[in-house]
Structure formats: structure tokens, C-alpha cells
Amino acid sequence: MLFPLLLLIAQQQTPAAIAPKAGPVLRDAERARAAAAKAAAPVPAGEPPRFTKCMDLATGDPGAAIDEAVKWGTDKGGMFARQCLAVAYTNQGRWDSAAAAFEEAAGEAETAKDGARAAVYWTQAGNAWLAAKKPPRARAAINAALASGQLKGLALGEAYLDRARAAVASGENVGARADIDVALAKAGDDPLAWLLSATLARRMNDLPRAQKDIAEAVKRAGDDAAVQIEAGNIAAASGDEAGAKAAWNKVVAAAPSSPQATAARAALAQFDAAPAK
């Protein structure tokens, strides 16, 4: 028997609503920061020396980096100034501003006929829009990245995953499923792809698919609270009391102070309070 609280937990809609402990499954803001951090990696050849200075500031002193990037932008800084500005905004958690700056960087890159950089900037803009809770803007940015034809391999798979996240956030399950399936084929090592696929399958009442995909997520990130709470959700929806208990107990052990652990404890208490059959 499933009790009301268990059903409530099992009906959680997206992994984006779950706040996992630090680990391989990243929430929207964490994923956006990770995308921006790639831009702050060691500078490849062909980028101006001023870029290195600005990006160092973006990491260590974002406020100063914003001032520097704005000044540089008025001095023909182009896409690199816009990129630095976007990373600085990202490190301040100013997601709307970060997304807009990444889009401006993409436009500058397109003007400079640098399609590869433009595609990366569009994907970074999409992640920032997701962190800003604006999935339609995210999808538009990611569509631009995909339309460029510049993304290959893992980067292409991650872009499809990001577009699926935008679709899920907008309640567009069918479109999300198509994109997730592409993401699984091209970025199958990302536990978020399997977690999102499992959650979507549960929402669409495809429990066999949900069980299969959450097992893949567990293989890749079994100590993550987001993965285990969804494993419990799927077990509960499938009538597997023992499986739900096991998963939710792992949530409590992995992230005892998290909101997920609070919900898991309450769910486990409901099981304990169940009348004997």
C-alpha cells in the first residue's frame, strides 16, 4: 500500500526540483557554472592576453571583471570581452545577465565567422537560462547551438540533454523523450541523462523504462541523493516497498541535512505507521 506522502514524493516532477548533495549529478545552477568554468580553463592559442587577465578576475574578483569586461567591450573586445563578462556574472549567480552576455558573445563569434566558439557560447547561454528558470529562452539558445552543426560527440549529446531539460521544465514530455534518447546515445556516461530519462519515464507511466534507466543512473552515481530519491520514487510507484525503503534510507545516509532526507524520513515513517494487513 502506498500512503499519501509516498505518493506525493513519487509525483515529484523533475530532477531539477531535487537538491542533491555535491556529486556527479548537477543542478541547473551548478551545471551552468560548470559550463562557464570550461570557458575559464587555460587559454588556447589565438586569444588575446587581455582575455587571460579578465578571466582571472572573473574567477577571483567577479565585480572587477565586470568593470574590466565592460571597458574592454567598448575597445573592440568582441566575443572575448562578452565571454569574460558572462563568466563574471555566472560567478555572481546573476543568471539572466550571464545568459544575455553569452548570447552576445555568440553573436560576436558568428560575426567573426568563428562557428565553433559561437556554438559553445550558445550552449553556455542555454545553461544560464535554465539556471534563471527560463526554459523557453534556454531552448532557443540550445536550438541555435544545434543548428550550427558545430557540435560533435559528447558536446552534441550534452546539448540534446540540455534541450531535454528545458522541455521537461516546460512540461513538454514527448519532445523531452526524443532529445533524451539522443543524449543517452551520445552522452551516456552522464548520470543526469539517465536520471532525467528515468524521471520522465515515471511521469509518463512507463515504469519498466523508469526502472531500467534509474538502474543505469545508480551505476554511475549511486551515492547521489537525487538518484536515490528517484530510485525510491520509482520503487514506490511500482509497489516495491522494500526497494523504496532501501533507496530512501540511502538518501538519509548520503545527505542527512538535505530536504530530500527530510522527505525520505517522513516517507519511511509512513511505512512504519502502516496498519498490519
User: CA torsion 128→131→135→137, rounded to 10°?
Assistant: -30
Same domain, 254 and 178: no
How many domains, the chain? Answer: 2
Same domain, 39 and 88: yes
Of 157, 187, 217, the one marking the end of a domain is: 187
Domain around 271 = 1-23+194-277
Same domain, 170 and 37: yes
The domain that contains 220 carries what CATH number? Answer: 1.25.40
SS3 per-residue string spanning the chain: CCCHHHHHHHCCCCHHHCCCCCCCCCCHHHHHHHHHHHHCCCCCCCCCHHHHHHHHHHHHCHHHHHHHHHHHHCCCCHHHHHHHHHHHHHHCCCHHHHHHHHHHHHHHHHHCCCHHHHHHHHHHHHHHHHHCCCHHHHHHHHHHHHHCCCCCHHHHHHHHHHHHHHHHHCCCHHHHHHHHHHHHHHCCCCHHHHHHHHHHHHHCCCHHHHHHHHHHHHHHHCCCHHHHHHHHHHHHHCCCHHHHHHHHHHHHHHCCCCHHHHHHHHHHHHHHCCCCC
**pLDDT on residue 54:** 96
In this structure, are residues 227 and 255 in contact, taking their beta carbons and an 8 Å threshold? no
Of 161, 187, 213, the one marking the end of a domain is: 187
pTM of the model: 0.82
Same domain, 135 and 219: no
Same domain, 135 and 64: yes
In this structure, are residues 161 and 169 in contact, taking their beta carbons and an 8 Å threshold? no
**pLDDT on residue 259:** 85
Same domain, 216 and 272: yes
Residue whose C-alpha is closest to residue 187's, from 157, 225, 161: 157
**pLDDT on residue 255:** 85
Q: Distance between CA 149 and CA 231 in Å, rounded?
A: 36
Tell me the pLDDT tens digit for each residue of 153-181.
999 999 999 999 999 999 999 999 999 99
Please list the ranges in the chain whose pLDDT falls under 50.
Answer: 1-24, 40-43, 275-277
